A and B are shown apart, each in its own frame.
Chain A
Amino acid sequence: MTIEIHPGLYNYAIVVMLMMAGLYIVITRGNLVKKIVGLNVFQASVFVLYITMGKIVGGTAPILEAGIEVYSNPLPHVLILTAIVVGVATTALGLALVVRIREAYGTIEEDEIQRQDEAL
């Protein structure tokens, strides 16, 4: 079994790199706001994945106009439009939780919250 990674697949490599950076932030950072930023980075990388899959070389934006033959695929655009808006809703809910946690525990650092829980 041979693994061929040829130049035409560079967009996926970029997406995977951004995605892993986001995952790394979510795993290692104890600060809750930074975790949410990491989640957003991860999310945006997925958006880029979808939009690059919809692109056709030589195509234009999917707005009908006379004289244009090739349009990029409109379906990923629609899905990602929905995903962006849902993403900001979840971000807002997560940040509301952070504010609430800060009020209850006085901190937004994960390890300090755990220590307080164990002390109870």
Chain B
Amino acid sequence: MAVTVLAIIRLHNLVAVVMLSGFYSLLAATLFVVLDAVDVAFTEAAVGAGISTILMLGTLALTTQHEKVRALPRFPLILVALTGVALIYGTADMPDFGDPESPIHEHVAPRYIERSAEEIGLPNIVTSVLASYRGYDTLGEVTVIFTAGIGILTLLGVRRWRSRKPGPDTATGDEDRNAAGGDRA
């Protein structure tokens, strides 16, 4: 993943950058499988590596494919390095990786693991929590997607529909985008 990120930083061809970002998402998805988060891995592979990449390629088709090469200032590198050191210092008190005794595993999760089978009746605990215990969260998520869809429509869709007569050659990229937006919900 680190190599991919370095390549993303260095490259100026935006198509390559977008492909690498999809690859980065796919690597993250495989990492999630290793870390027992199979549902997250599915979603990351489908949404992060799939839909995001398609949306970005669509944007590149509508805009440009090359980044302007410019001189890089030194200051951001120092700033980012300092922030990184501060963050690593902040993690010194965190529990060890994989420690079953860490606070995150002590409070809510054991109840989900012990009771969700009888209360919800689904073998997959992630589904039980997502759809039932934290159902309002998911409702909020759907609201966010709906709002984003409306935002995209107001930015791109309606204006074109008014300014041009609808014809076979009208902005196919937008229709792809809106179709993808509908699928995400």
Dominant secondary structure of chain A at its interface with chain B: helix
Contact A31 B96 (CB under 8 A): no
- Chain A residues closer than 8 Å to B68, beta-carbon distance: 30-31, 109, 112
- Bound complex: CA of A86 vs CA of B52, how far in Å? 12
- Bound complex: CA of A60 vs CA of B126, how far in Å? 13
Q: Which residues B85-142 have CB closer than 8 A to chain A?
A: 87-89, 91-92, 94, 96-100, 102, 104-105, 108-109, 112-113, 116-117, 123-126, 129-130, 134, 137-138, 141
Nearest A residue to B46 via CB reads A84
- Chain B residues closer than 8 Å to A97, beta-carbon distance: 155
Contact A20 B81 (CB under 8 A): yes
- Chain A residues closer than 8 Å to B21, beta-carbon distance: 37, 40-41
Contact with A along B156-184 (1 / 0, CB 8 A): 10000000000000000000010011001
Residues of A within 8 A of B (CB): 3-6, 8-14, 16-25, 27-31, 33-34, 36-38, 40-41, 44, 47-48, 51-65, 70-78, 80-82, 84-93, 95-100, 102, 107-109, 111-112
Given A64-B123, A80-B40, A99-B62, 9 extra CB contacts under 8 A: A28-B76, A33-B14, A44-B44, A56-B100, A63-B38, A63-B126, A73-B105, A75-B108, A93-B151
